[in-house]
């Protein structure tokens, strides 16, 4: 029974990945200086994930749409990132966004919370605020 469940879960995960690939959103456009600033901020972030997890796929789609090439860390069995997520983040739950700022580390769980945070920080309205502040 366990094996059958694993096969079904793996098969459904592959179908979801295929659909994601075929319907992938276009990345948001930024000027080169804006994208350079974003990349500097992303260097201090990582997304802990399972590759075929539907909530992780949803989060990766938002990353692509927002043009945020964040490092992804798979937490499969045997991965050093799995142990890191449990010991430092406190839970084996994905997706989880690790944010390091000002010497502090925050672990943000839940795809909706992660996407809302990224939208607020890097979305089109955030860029508009940056452009208005610098003009």
In the three-class reduction of DSSP (H, G, I as helix; E, B as strand; rest coil), residue 16 is classed as helix
> In the prediction, which pLDDT does 134 show?
45
The structural domain count of the chain equals 1
Q: What is the CATH number of the domain that holds 114?
A: 3.40.30.10
Percentage of residues of the chain with pLDDT beyond 70: 93
Angle between helices 111-122 and 54-65 (to 10 degrees): 10
* Residue showing tokens 């769980």: 109
* Residue showing tokens 């937490």: 75
pLDDT digits (tens, 9 = 90+) for 87-110: 999 999 999 999 999 999 999 999
pLDDT digits (tens, 9 = 90+) for 7-43: 787 787 788 778 777 888 888 889 999 999 999 999 9
Domain range enclosing 13: 2-134
Mean pLDDT of 105-125: 95
């Amino acid at each position: 029974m366990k094996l059958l469940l694993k096969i079904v879960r793996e098969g459904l995960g592959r179908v979801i990945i295929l659909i994601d690939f075929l319907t992938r959103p276009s990345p948001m456009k930024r000027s080169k200086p804006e994208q350079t600033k974003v990349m500097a901020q992303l260097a201090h972030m990582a997304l802990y994930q399972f590759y075929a997890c539907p909530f992780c796929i949803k989060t990766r789609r938002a990353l692509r749409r927002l043009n945020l090439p964040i490092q992804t860390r798979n937490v499969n069995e045997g991965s050093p990132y799995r142990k890191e997520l449990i010991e430092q983040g406190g839970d084996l739950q994905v997706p989880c966004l690790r944010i390091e700022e000002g010497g502090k580390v925050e672990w943000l769980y839940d795809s909706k919370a992660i996407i809302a945070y990224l939208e607020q920080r890097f979305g089109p309205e955030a860029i508009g605020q940056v452009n208005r502040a610098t003009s």
